[in-house]
Amino acid sequence: MTETKKTAKKKAATKKKAAVAKKKEYPKVVEKKFKNQLECKFSPGVLATMSDDLARMITEKDQMGSRHADIKSGLTADMKKIEADIQALASRVKSKAEHRDVSCLRIYDYNKGTVTYKRTDTGEVFRKRDIRDEEKQMDFLDDLNKK
CB 107 within 8 A of CB 116: yes
What's the length of the chain?
147
Residue 127: its pLDDT value, please? 96
Provide the whole-model pTM: 0.41
Residues 49-70 have a mean pLDDT of 94
Residues 12-19 have a mean pLDDT of 66
Query: For the chain, how far is it from start to end, CA to CA, in angstroms?
Result: 151
- The structural domains of the chain, with segments of one domain joined by +, span 51-98, 104-146
Higher pLDDT, 90 or 27: 90
Distance separating alpha carbons of residues 132 and 108, to the nearest angstrom? 10
Sheet holding 125-130, edge to edge: 104-109, 114-119, 125-130
Q: Classify burial at 108, counting beta carbons within 10 Å of its beta carbon; exposed 0-12, middle 13-18, buried 19 or more.
A: middle
DSSP 88-125: HHHHHHHHT-------EEEEEETTTTEEEEEETTT--E
How high is the mean pLDDT of the chain?
A: 86
Distance separating alpha carbons of residues 67 and 128, to the nearest angstrom? 62
CB 124 within 8 A of CB 118: yes
Residue 137: its pLDDT value, please? 76
pLDDT, one tens digit per residue, over 64-102 is: 999 999 999 999 999 999 999 999 999 999 999 888 999
